[in-house]
Amino acid sequence: MQTTFNPHYVLKKYFGYENFRPLQEEIITGVLQQKDTLVLMPTGGGKSLCFQVPALMLPHLTLVVSPLIALMKDQVDALKANGIAADFLNSSMDDADQNILLDELQSGKIKLLYISPEKLLALLPYFSTQIQISLIAIDEAHCISAWGHDFRPEYTKLKQLKMMWPQVPIIALTATADKITRKDIVQQLALKDNAVFIASFDRPNLSLQVRFGVKKKKKMEEIASFIHARANESGIIYCLSRKATEDMSADLSEYGISANFYHAGMSATERAKVQDDFIHDRTKVICATIAFGMGIDKSNVRFVIHNSLPKNMEGYYQEIGRAGRDGLPSDTLLYYSLGDVIMLRNFIEESGQKELNLEKLSRMQQYAETPICRRKILLAYFGETLLQACQNCDVCKEPRQSFDGTLLAQKALSALARTNQNVGVNVLIDILRGSNRREIIENNYDRIKTFGIGRDKSFSDWQQLIMQMLNIGLVEMAYDENYTLKITPFGQEVLFKNRKIDLVQPEEKAAFIPKPQRATVSYPEQDQEELLFEHLRASRRVLAEKENVPAYVIFSDATLKEIVSKKPQSLAQFMEVNGMGEYKVKKYGNVILKELKSWQKSHGVKTPKASSYIETLALLKQGFSVEDIAITRQLHVGTIYSHIAHLYQTKALPNIDQYFTESDLALVRNARIETGKTQQLTALFLHLQEAVPYPIIRLCLAYLEREEKEAGVN
């Protein structure tokens, strides 16, 4: 497959990053080798780069199937801000705009096209005959599976894509998919010779906290205090019902917090306005149902609060994942009551796939009630083992009493193994406790060696212990095999290799109720770096409003933090900041540099002045062309050529012959001899009858002078 450039060049030039995150480069390499690929990567983990980088390297169009209009516009805005030719096509466009876009596609002006599944299917005949396709990316791929938490029937028709373009690689991407959903995605999309990449689901920058049984008035006080402690930061509060979002918004206003609500009962215009205000930081807090967020690519959400228990771990993980997408520390807070469980169970009883959804709710409840590290449970649900406690959740910060649980775990694992891993939780407990009920006798489980080995523990104790084993990843539940338990590789190590594990002592009642804790609020004095960050954030807001894009599209908070930390004093130094690609340095570098230097001067901060020559040299080393350097530094092209001549004469540049031809050099060499070795540019320019431009004459002179000096010619 024909490609241009290389992945690292594209990453730096367009996105401003020196290095890929784990798995990204391997995924991109596979895509370029035309391999179908399934990517599981957490929200904020860099999924988009896995298809955006190859899209810029491949010769033709990349189609990106995306389920929500808002998500398309957000990602296209971000790509355009990086100087990338991208656009979107969906039902919001009228026929005239669509026809203009189709003409641009035919002319090859667009590298990435974001398109809804319905629109793509409607235009399949056109795309198959009129447009050359290099790559197809299917975002939010879990929507194709009935096992997934956000099933969308229109996604199931995407299997036609492989039939239409059998040689075009497909990359399917999702942030949340368990084993059965992953298997279904591969099958439904007919991915051939596919590679599956599962990135770590760990988001260590997110703190995890759960509060149980807090009364409404107390809860509102805590939430208000929590938000006040994060003044000027954006956050989302998820609520179970439409009315709850409106009530929460009204309650917050009584605490002086400006918030808005969002739910599916609002008109499309109203929802679009609320979402737009949030994206552009005009509204800081949104109270929403789960209808809000999937189409949001906002990187600077600093907190996510759940006003009630989510219905499953996939949804919860995706929702908290909307915080801290830029990698900066962010907080999540979940409020939970038994009333939430009753309400959700009632919803599930009236819905399809009742057994599956009840089991998923049970796992969500176990997470909320756990006495062990919450991150371990969260990651284990997605098949990942966290060996050490995270120290960034409420359980780790207030640990419960633990003991060496290796022997107890081995008893349970051994009993499970002797059933050929063909039983669920309750039957396994009955085997361990030596129950003589009919199902045990009929299946001969009373004859296995480990029958009754755990009689000394109550049913409730074993239930809690096995849930801990499930939560830390010793066993996993096979939803598609009648909810039976399976021993994981980690569990095999404990069973057969005597791997030591700690468990938490079971409590008398299955659900622990933590004592209400007053939310702590701190208002630290702003130091100089915080003041500078706020100053630059205000400058970013002005740029964003001028261009009518979200502030984080200009620069993410993480990029601004790095600017504050590194305090670059030249445009070349700006190129060393993560998130600052060539396009952004050219477009915004001088503005931010001016603001930075102005702030430093007004605060008495002395900074070394960078040499103009050195700055040009640094940009040359970054791969900037002479014209780009002139535009970026706001200097004349001739000035940059004079810098190059000086840098060559002082041996800072090893060669400059790429800037002129042998013919140019020969003409200037002869002209110098014929004019008595004059160094005057005008005299040489006129002598050559204007055949060689001034800047090229300057470079040729520098080349000849160094040549003569190195040869010892006077």
Q: Which residue has the higher pLDDT, 383 or 150?
A: 383
Burial 56-93 (b: 16+ CB within 10 A, else e): bbbeebbbbbbbbbbbbbbbbbbbbbbebebbbbbeeb
Q: Give the per-residue SS3 of 317-356.
A: HHHHCCCCCCCCCEEEEEEECHHHHHHHHHHHHCCCCHHH
Please indicate, yes or no, whether residues 19 and 159 belong to a single structural domain of this protein. Answer: yes
Name the phi and psi angles at 509, rounded to 5.
-120, 145
Q: Pairing state of beta strands 37-40 and 170-174?
A: parallel
Q: In what order do the strands lie in the sheet with 301-306?
A: 206-212, 330-336, 301-306, 234-238, 285-288, 259-262
Q: Cβ(185)–Cβ(177) under 8 Å?
A: yes
Structure tokens at 315: 């949804």
CATH number, domain at 484? Answer: 1.10.10.10
Is residue 2 assigned to a domain?
A: no
pLDDT at 149: 59
User: 3-state DSSP call for residue 301?
Assistant: strand
**pLDDT tens digits for 146-164?**
765 567 788 888 989 999 9
Is residue 394 assigned to a domain?
A: no
Cα dihedral 158/159/161/162 (nearest 10):
160
569 alpha-carbon distance from chain centroid? 30
User: 3-state DSSP call for residue 155?
Assistant: helix
Is residue 70 assigned to a domain?
A: yes
User: 3-state DSSP call for residue 175?
Assistant: coil
| Separation of alpha carbons 85 and 62, rounded Å | 11
64 DSSP 8-state letter: E
Please indicate, yes or no, whether residues 226 and 194 belong to a single structural domain of this protein. Answer: no
How many other CB atoms are there within 10 angstroms of residue 232's CB atom?
9
pLDDT at 515: 33
Q: Which residue has the higher pLDDT, 467 or 16?
A: 16
User: 3-state DSSP call for residue 402?
Assistant: strand
Q: Cβ(553)–Cβ(78) under 8 Å?
A: yes
Q: Cβ(260)–Cβ(249) under 8 Å?
A: yes
Please indicate, yes or no, whether residues 151 and 252 belong to a single structural domain of this protein. Answer: no
pLDDT at 610: 65
pLDDT at 511: 35
Residue with tokens 């006495």: 371
pLDDT at 510: 34
Q: Cβ(235)–Cβ(284) under 8 Å?
A: yes
Is residue 668 assigned to a domain?
A: yes
pLDDT at 604: 77
**pLDDT tens digits for 354-378?**
888 888 898 998 899 888 899 999 9
CATH number, domain at 594? Answer: 1.10.150.80
Boundary residue ending a domain (449, 470, 504): 504
Is residue 571 assigned to a domain?
A: yes
CATH number, domain at 60? Answer: 3.40.50.300
660 alpha-carbon distance from chain centroid? 44
| Separation of alpha carbons 335 and 261, rounded Å | 18
pLDDT at 512: 30
- How many structural domains are present in the chain? 5
Please indicate, yes or no, whether residues 122 and 28 belong to a single structural domain of this protein. Answer: yes
Is residue 618 assigned to a domain?
A: no
**pLDDT tens digits for 446-504?**
999 999 999 999 988 898 799 889 878 899 888 778 889 999 999 999 999 999 999 98
Q: Cβ(427)–Cβ(522) under 8 Å?
A: no
689 DSSP 8-state letter: T
Boundary residue ending a domain (198, 225, 247): 198
Please indicate, yes or no, whether residues 256 and 194 belong to a single structural domain of this protein. Answer: no
Mean pLDDT across the chain, nearest whole number? 87
Name the phi and psi angles at 356, rounded to 5.
-60, -45
Report the predicted TM-score, pTM, of the whole model to 2 decimal places. Answer: 0.71
Of 60-64, 227-231, 444-448, 680-684, the one with minimum mean pLDDT is 680-684
The average pLDDT across 178-190 equals: 88
Please indicate, yes or no, whether residues 53 and 171 belong to a single structural domain of this protein. Answer: yes
Of 53-57, 300-304, 528-532, the one with minimum mean pLDDT is 528-532
| Separation of alpha carbons 275 and 293, rounded Å | 9
Please indicate, yes or no, whether residues 424 and 302 belong to a single structural domain of this protein. Answer: no
Q: Which residue has the higher pLDDT, 513 or 468?
A: 468
pLDDT at 675: 86
pLDDT tops 50 at residue 587: yes
The average pLDDT across 398-405 equals: 86
Please indicate, yes or no, whether residues 264 and 330 belong to a single structural domain of this protein. Answer: yes
| Separation of alpha carbons 208 and 394, rounded Å | 6
Name the phi and psi angles at 658, rounded to 5.
-75, -15
Domain hosting residue 433, numbered range: 402-504
Residue with tokens 């907080």: 331
Please indicate, yes or no, whether residues 233 and 85 belong to a single structural domain of this protein. Answer: no
| Separation of alpha carbons 321 and 44, rounded Å | 7
Here the contacts of 564-567 (C-beta below 8 Å, separation 24 or greater) are 564/529, 564/532, 564/533, 564/536, 565/529, 567/596, 567/600, 567/607
The percentage of residues in the chain with a pLDDT greater than 70, rounded to a whole number, is 94
The average pLDDT across 217-244 equals: 92
pLDDT at 90: 82
pLDDT tops 90 at residue 392: yes
Please indicate, yes or no, whether residues 223 and 193 belong to a single structural domain of this protein. Answer: no
Of 207-216, 575-584, 671-680, the one with minimum mean pLDDT is 671-680
Q: Cβ(598)–Cβ(539) under 8 Å?
A: no
Q: Pairing state of beta strands 502-504 and 402-404?
A: antiparallel
Q: Give the per-residue SS3 of 553-569.
A: HHCCHHHHHHHHHHCCC
Closest CA to 321 of 75, 148, 310: 310
**Bridge-partner residues for 171, per DSSP?**
37, 137
Helix (H) or strand (E) holding 234: strand 234-238
**pLDDT tens digits for 90-110?**
877 888 888 899 989 988 889
| Separation of alpha carbons 350 and 364, rounded Å | 19
User: 3-state DSSP call for residue 503?
Assistant: strand
Residue with tokens 């040869």: 711
Is residue 48 assigned to a domain?
A: yes
Is residue 13 assigned to a domain?
A: yes
pLDDT at 316: 93
How many other CB atoms are there within 10 angstroms of residue 141's CB atom?
30
| Separation of alpha carbons 242 and 252, rounded Å | 16
| Separation of alpha carbons 313 and 328, rounded Å | 23
Please indicate, yes or no, whether residues 238 and 116 belong to a single structural domain of this protein. Answer: no
**pLDDT tens digits for 614-647?**
888 888 887 788 888 888 888 888 889 989 998 9
Please indicate, yes or no, whether residues 234 and 157 belong to a single structural domain of this protein. Answer: no
